[in-house]
Structures are given as C-alpha cells and as structure tokens.
Chains A and B, each alone.
Chain A
Amino acid sequence: MSAAVLRPPAVLPGFAPALGLTLVYLCLIVLIPLAAVFAKTAGMGWQAFVDAVAAPRVVASYQLSFGSALLAAAINAAFGLLVAWVLTRYEFPGRRIADALVDLPFALPTAVAGIALAAVYAPQGWLGRWFDAAGIKVAYTPLGVLVALTFIGLPFVVRTVQPVLQELEKDVEEAAANLGAGRLQIFLRVIFPQLAPALLTGFALAFARAVGEYGSVIFIAGNMPMVSEITPLIIITKLEQYDYAGATAVAVVMLLASFALLLAINALQAWQARRGGRAPARAGH
C-alpha cells in the first residue's frame, strides 16, 4: 500500500518494467548487432585494421560517402523546408497528391529508385540528355551519387518540419508585423528559429539515411574506384571476397564517424534551445 502511494503516478505501467523492456529491446535490436561488428573487428589486430580502413581506395570512398551525404542533407534541408512551407501555407489543386508524393522515396524499393534514376539521368535519358548537352555528366559520376542521396533523403526533412509549421500560430506572425517587423524579419527572427530544431532533426535523419544508403546509389554511381565508389559498396565487395574482418573494420569507421556527426548535431540543438532563455543584465544607473 505505502509503496504504491510513494510511486509517482504515470499512465504507462511502472518505471522498472518500462525501463527494463526498453533496455532489452535496444540491446536486441541495436547494441548486440553493433557489438558483434566491433568484436569481429577486434580480432584482426591493429596493423591489419589500419591497412583495411586507411587504404587509399577506402579513404576516397569515405570522402565521397560522407561528403555527398552531408551535401545531400543540406540540399534537402533547404528544399525540404520550401516544400513543407508550400504544402502547409498554400491551398492549390493537387496539394494532397503532392503531399503524398513526398513519401514515395520512403516506400519505393531502393533498387527500383536506383534503376529509375540511372535511366533518367543517363546520357541518353530524359533528363540526362539535357545535362549532357550542357556538358554535365550526372549518371556514373559523384554527381549521380548526390542525386540519389538527395532523392532518398527528401521525406525526412519535409515530414519533420511540416508538423511544426502547421502548429505555428498565425497571431505570432501578426504580433511581429504589428511591432513593425517586415516579411524577411518575421521569417528570420520569428518563424525560422521555431523551425530550426525540427530542421536540424530532419537534416540529421536525411544525413544518417544517406550515409548508409546502398541500393539506390550503386546503379547510378558507376562505382569507379577512387571516383564514384561509396563506402557501403566497399563493405559489400569485401564481404563478397570473404574478407569479413576487413568489411567490419570499414563498418566500424563508418559507425563511429556517423555517431560523432549525429552527436554534434544533437549538441547544436541543445545549444540552440539554451540560447533562447537569455537576457542581458540591467545597465547600471
């Protein structure tokens, strides 16, 4: 009786079973598989590890994978914000269809997306021929990788920003206008700071998805070593050659780098949240 009274009331069943279940679940789904990656790698010795992860071909693939994933996430942040804005702020015929289209990159099997993108952006493709005429090669180059990663990352930004945009109250913008703020000032000082946390989350999700993406990229990338070969492909190649330790070694580097970047994004969000509650001290009289 007394123990029941002491416990804080909560909707979900008690703290202990909930936390226990959470930990077991995270272990089964996330931690144990990841630990296996580290365990496999640990068996190979330091020199072999460095040889596997620091080979020039592998380093070139890190640059391509992380560079194009960051760039694709940045492009998605900008255009995803625009798409979310148009979908929430304007009424136009076909709005619901446009809204549903956003989710397609989620739903499409990545190989299908890859084949479609490769066909469209190939030098003879519908879009590729115009780029080709302008002297720009998209398919089978790093640019093709960027196109594929941008395609699969779009829904993350739109779907994280959209609900926040919908919840923004109209009277807050009216208040800003009433206080003399222009349109640009209202966007930069009132709307954007409220969207920024969601935008960062969308950016992080799009980035994380893009780093690990395989299926849609390999068809359009051309997979030339040192030029358009992504890290996940290096891992697959190593696996196909029964070099399991080498494959997990590269995976460990990818994991740690992704984790560091996501942590940095989280820290940025926390810093941004703290920044709101500041006020300078009163000037002395």
Chain B
Amino acid sequence: MNIQVRKLRKNFGQHKAVDDITLEFPAGELTALLGPSGCGKTTLLRIIAGLEQAEAGEVWLDGEEVSARDVRDRKVGFVFQHYALFRHMSVFENIAFGLRVKPRRERPAETAIRRKVYDLLELVQLEKFAAHLPAQLSGGQRQRVALARALAVEPKVLLLDEPFGALDAKVRKELRAWLRRLHDELHMTSLFVTHDQEEALDLADQVVLMNRGRVEQSGTPAELYAAPASPFVYSFLGSSALFEGRAGAAALEVGAHSLPLAHDLPAGTPAVACVRAHDLGLARPRERAGGLPATVRRVLNFGLVARVELDLAGSGKRVEVDLPRAECAELAPAPGETLLVEARAARAFALA
C-alpha cells in the first residue's frame, strides 16, 4: 500500500516544522526520512500516523484521503522511539493489546489471540520472554516487543520513529540487519526516521533527506550519494569539505588563493565548492601553483585510507583529506607543515 502526502504544512509557533511537503512513498519499500534534529522528519511521520494534525495538506493511504480520520482508524503501525510499552503488562499482554481492544464482533477468540501473539513472538525471537515485564528486557528486546505489538493488528503500513536511537552501537547494528531481513520477508510499506546517515544509506530502499521542514533531495541511497543536489546534501551525506568563495576561470577564488576546479558558473558569482574527502589531494607548495594553503594538524595513517586534518590558512577552517595510504607515506606530511589542498573532483553551487 502506498503513502502520499501533498502540500503538507505544520507550524509549532513560529517554527515551520513541515513546510509544504509533497512526497510519494512507493508500496512495499523501506524509506528513510533522514535529516538533522528539528528538521521536521518526526512531525511528518506523526502526521501520517494521525498523532499530529497538519494545518494544511493531504495524507493519502492506499488511494484514500485520511486527514480527517482518527489515529485509531488509520491502520498504521507505529513504533515509538522510546518503545512506549505498557509497563504493567507482560510482553504477551503488550502484544495482545491491539487485539483485545477491538470491538467485540471483530475481536478474535482467546485461542486465536494466543496463536497470533506466539507467532509474533517467534518472529521477533522472544518466545521465552512472554511472561516478562518490559522492565526486565534489554533495550533491543523492548524495541522488538514494540515492533511485534505494532504488527499484531496487521497494519497496512509501518512507521518507525528513530527505531534504533536509544540503543548502543553494537545492538543497533544487529537490529538494523534484522529489521532489513524482516522487511524483505514481509514487504510492508515502511518509513523510518533517523538522523544517522549511515543507518539510512545502509538500510533503506529510498532516502528522503529533509532540512528545515523541507525536502532537500530524495532518491535511492546510490543516487543521493552520486549526485547530491545541494551543498546541504554534500555536508550531510558522506564526508565532504565545503569551500566558500567566488567563481573564477576554471577555479574558485578563496581570498587571495584559488582552488582549480571545473564549473559552469559565470565569473564573479559567489559560490560554494563541495569536495568529497577522498577527492581532495595534497601537494607541497613548490610543486604546484594552484590550491589552498593549509597547516597540517594531525595525520592518521591506518585503516583503509590515511586521514590528514588541516586548518585552512586565513579562515582557519578544519578540512579532512582522505589519501590512499601509499600516497600519504610518499608525501609524509608532518604536523605544523603548510601544504596545498587541491580538488580532483568537485561541484560548485552558486550561493543565493
């Protein structure tokens, strides 16, 4: 079942939480709503679930406009960031809750409820914990109970608010892989909110990158990574350096220096150049004419690539450069030394 939102708006006082968003989430896919905190991603999720009312705009679920429909009747599964389990109920009763509160004529028989709950416990690998109270479970286990509880009422879509936000790094990674496998089994249209770019790129079929209540860019993880649409996307996805200056002839003028790069901006336009850390290079000043002088602060030569951290002359802005380890060994940058930073590939955007 697909989800569409059209021209959605929601303010909290002066703050525009959701500012004219139109999106379509394809059926059966796992989509990440990604963005910095306060960008409106959770508000968007809550509006779709009916936990929040939009001031304007439409929410369509499976070809039906549901804005006026109560949260109870939307058939949307929602998993809360802090699990929101009923702490006075056992794991079993938590999962059975949605079935027990159905109107009498729709309510399954006790044996059917029991079968369903144990099937779900098996799915989330918690059969042994049916009689436990939520307080007796770890964070990862609680999250799985919350997921089973949401799935018990057979929702048409599944929404997850920062599902791994409150977990430690190792559990987070395991649960992420497990959720992906689960999605591949169930093929339910799912949206999850995250501020972690790695999580979004790793887990989702589609990524919607949001900033200040608007959509910056949406597409597959590969599309977003290969062709960022704005300096914000560059800065948020992957590790990039942003240089502000003026467009010159095949270069960006930064103060008295210039960074050679290809662009099609009219000369003199204020511009920002975005360069991935692995597209940056370093050279000794006497070897090259172009490039921005910077002082080496730290050299981390281990792992897949060597990382050199430098402070740009003038602005003092920190730049991180990823070099192949062999190249780093050959150059042998020393802390305190001044080198030239150059761009092997870059994209320039005019500054509005």
Contacts and interface: CB of A to CB of B under 8 A. Distances in A.
B71 A175 contact: no
B115 interface: yes
Q: Top 7 nearest A-B pairs by Cβ distance? A: A279-B92, A179-B98, A279-B130, A175-B84, A171-B84, A279-B131, A181-B101
B113 to A, nearest CB: 9
Contact of A180 (B72, B82, B127): B72
Interface in A109-141: none
The interface centre, meaning the residue of A174, A179, A193 with most chain B CB atoms within 10 A of its CB, is A179
Contact of B88 (A181, A182, A276, A282): A276
A277 B89 CA distance: 6
A279 B101 contact: no
B87 A194 contact: yes
A283 interface: yes
B80 interface: yes
A283 B114 contact: yes
A189 interface: yes
Contacts of B78: 174-175, 178
B132 interface: yes
Contacts of B153: 179-180
Contact of B80 (A171, A193, A276): A171
Contact of B84 (A169, A182, A279): A169
Interface of A: 169, 171-172, 174-182, 185, 189-190, 193-194, 276-280, 282-283
A182 B102 CA distance: 9
A278 B92 CA distance: 8
A194 to B, nearest CB: 5
Contacts of A177: 51, 71-72
Contacts of A176: 86, 97, 101
A185 B104 CA distance: 13
Contacts of A179: 97-98, 101, 149-150, 152-153
A284 to B, nearest CB: 10
Interface string B101-123: 11000000011001100100000
Contacts of B73: 180
A169 B93 CA distance: 19
B101 A282 contact: no
Given A172-B85, A279-B92, 6 more contacts: A175-B86, A176-B86, A177-B72, A180-B102, A283-B111, A283-B118
B190 to A, nearest CB: 15
A178 B71 CA distance: 6
B246 to A, nearest CB: 50
